[in-house]
């Protein structure tokens, strides 16, 4: 799968910009603040219908403008696919494939598989469990439509149950029968999601460890483990056992929406005991494993976005990463970097075609 052309209009700091891309490696270079990451985010937007960096859609419209349009033309399995994402202030976002608007954005997820590696990924280590759950869900959802739909249903029932708990507290009342209906729905959906997450990590962890081994030259031992309350008991039992707590809190305190992952280096939490370089290598390995998993599951080679990837890595780790992507396993790659010379020197080691866009001269 290849992104052939990209046009952006009123997106973030860009008025209007058009790009024609190389089939292998495309590099955006220039000083901080010129918009390198925004171009990668526009490409991400075409795959997921949203920004990777700013979830508030209207804030991605250029200042003093009323709309944005992102337009991408792809080659996928010998077909041309034209995707347009547009948003006008005060209106709903629209995603079109070949001129036809999607009724549900979730139908688009996975159609253009993509993996991004960015400094913002550090949130996976330093933020709460919600960020790590979204990572697992994002990887599985790109190749499993049913999983995504089950997740949407689970979250809907969860918010209904939470609203009911608030209603009970507000009106000093209780109705066990209504609660039982929500409990059963959460139990059934939660069990399916839990099983898929567990199966996913059984496959994913060995791929991740292999990737880390290659980046670190086999010098460090890392691991990630799945944490879930459903290892202790089935969800229906957990919901019944915690009803008094839930009534007091006015929200559901147990379930797969509390799942997490432990990130470890040498059996210690990487958040506390990993250096900056080790943490960055961990995250890159995590995302490259995501790439491998999605490619295997979907049969389509994802687009790979590398945002400011060379920062805070020593030369040896940089050359390890470049060697990794100099591989027919990878398809089209987009790179952003502040140092044009560093990027070009690194890319010259790769036996692939490439194009460098210097944003200081393209504006």
Q: By the 8 A CB rule, do 165 and 246 touch?
A: yes
DSSP calls for 239-269: HHHTHHHHHHHTS--SSGGG-EEEEEETTEE
pLDDT beyond 90 at 220: no
On whether both 228 and 179 belong to a single domain, the answer is: yes
How far is residue 204's CA from residue 202's CA, in Å, rounded to a whole number?
Answer: 6
Q: How confident is the model at residue 312 (pLDDT cuts 50, 70, 90)?
A: low
pTM: 0.89
Domain containing residue 206: CATH number: 1.20.1050.90
On whether both 80 and 15 belong to a single domain, the answer is: yes
On whether both 207 and 313 belong to a single domain, the answer is: no
Q: How confident is the model at residue 217 (pLDDT cuts 50, 70, 90)?
A: confident
On whether both 220 and 238 belong to a single domain, the answer is: yes
On whether both 129 and 163 belong to a single domain, the answer is: yes
Task: Look up residue 136 and give its two tokens.
Answer: 């697992």
Looking at residue 41, the DSSP 8-state letter turns out to be: H
Residue 163: per-residue pLDDT: 97
Domain containing residue 16: CATH number: 3.40.50.300
Calculate the average pLDDT of the chain. 91
How far is residue 25's CA from residue 306's CA, in Å, rounded to a whole number?
Answer: 11
On whether both 227 and 339 belong to a single domain, the answer is: no
Residue 363: per-residue pLDDT: 47
Q: Which of the residue ranges 47-56, 196-205, 314-323 would you say has the lowest mean pLDDT?
A: 314-323
pLDDT beyond 50 at 32: yes
Residue 352: per-residue pLDDT: 82
Residue 49: per-residue pLDDT: 94
Q: In what order do the strands lie in the sheet with 268-269?
A: 222-227, 260-265, 268-269
Structural domain boundaries, residue 281: 119-299
Q: Which of the listed residues 281, 299, 317 is the one where a domain comes to its end?
A: 299
Q: Which of the listed residues 251, 278, 299 is the one where a domain comes to its end?
A: 299
Q: Which of the residue ranges 40-54, 82-96, 126-140, 344-358 would you say has the lowest mean pLDDT?
A: 344-358
Which residue is associated with the tokens 């370089």?
277
pLDDT beyond 90 at 143: no
Closest alpha carbon to 313 in 339, 345, 278, 287: 278
């Amino acid at each position: 799968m290849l992104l052939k052309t990209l046009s952006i209009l009123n997106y973030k700091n860009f008025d209007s910009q058009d790009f024609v891309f190389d089939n292998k490696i495309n590099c955006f270079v220039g000083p901080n603040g010129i918009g390198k990451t925004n171009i990668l985010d526009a490409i991400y937007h075409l795959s997921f219908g949203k920004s990777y960096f700013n979830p508030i859609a209207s804030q991605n419209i250029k200042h003093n403008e009323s709309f944005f349009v992102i337009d991408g033309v792809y080659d996928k399995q010998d077909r041309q696919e034209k995707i347009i994402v547009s948003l006008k202030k005060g209106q709903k976002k629209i995603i079109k494939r070949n001129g036809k608007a999607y009724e549900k954005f979730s139908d688009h997820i996975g159609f253009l598989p993509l993996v991004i590696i960015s400094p913002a990924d550090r949130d996976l280590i330093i933020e709460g469990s919600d960020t790590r759950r979204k990572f697992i869900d994002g990887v599985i959802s790109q190749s499993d439509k049913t999983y995504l739909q089950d997740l949407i249903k689970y979250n809907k029932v969860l918010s209904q149950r939470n609203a009911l708990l608030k209603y009970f507290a507000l009106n000093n009342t209780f109705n066990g029968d209504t609660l039982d209906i929500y409990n059963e729905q959460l139990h059934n959906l939660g069990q399916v999601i839990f099983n898929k997450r567990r199966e996913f990590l059984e496959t994913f962890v060995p791929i991740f460890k292999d990737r880390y081994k290659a980046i670190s030259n086999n010098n460090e031992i890392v691991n990630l483990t799945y944490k879930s309350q459903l290892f202790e008991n089935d969800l229906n039992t957990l919901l019944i056992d915690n009803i008094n707590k839930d009534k007091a809190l006015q929200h559901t305190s147990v379930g797969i929406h509390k799942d997490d992952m432990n990130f470890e280096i040498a059996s210690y939490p990487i958040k506390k005991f990993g250096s900056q370089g080790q943490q960055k290598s961990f995250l890159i390995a995590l995302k490259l494993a995501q790439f491998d998993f999605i490619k295997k599951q979907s049969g389509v080679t994802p687009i790979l976005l590398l945002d400011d990837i060379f920062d805070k890595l020593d030369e040896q780790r940089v050359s390890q990463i470049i060697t990794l992507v100099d591989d027919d396993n990878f398809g089209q790659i987009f790179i952003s970097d502040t140092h044009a010379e560093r990027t070009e020197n690194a890319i010259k080691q790769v036996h692939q075609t490439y194009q460098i866009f210097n944003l200081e001269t393209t504006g």
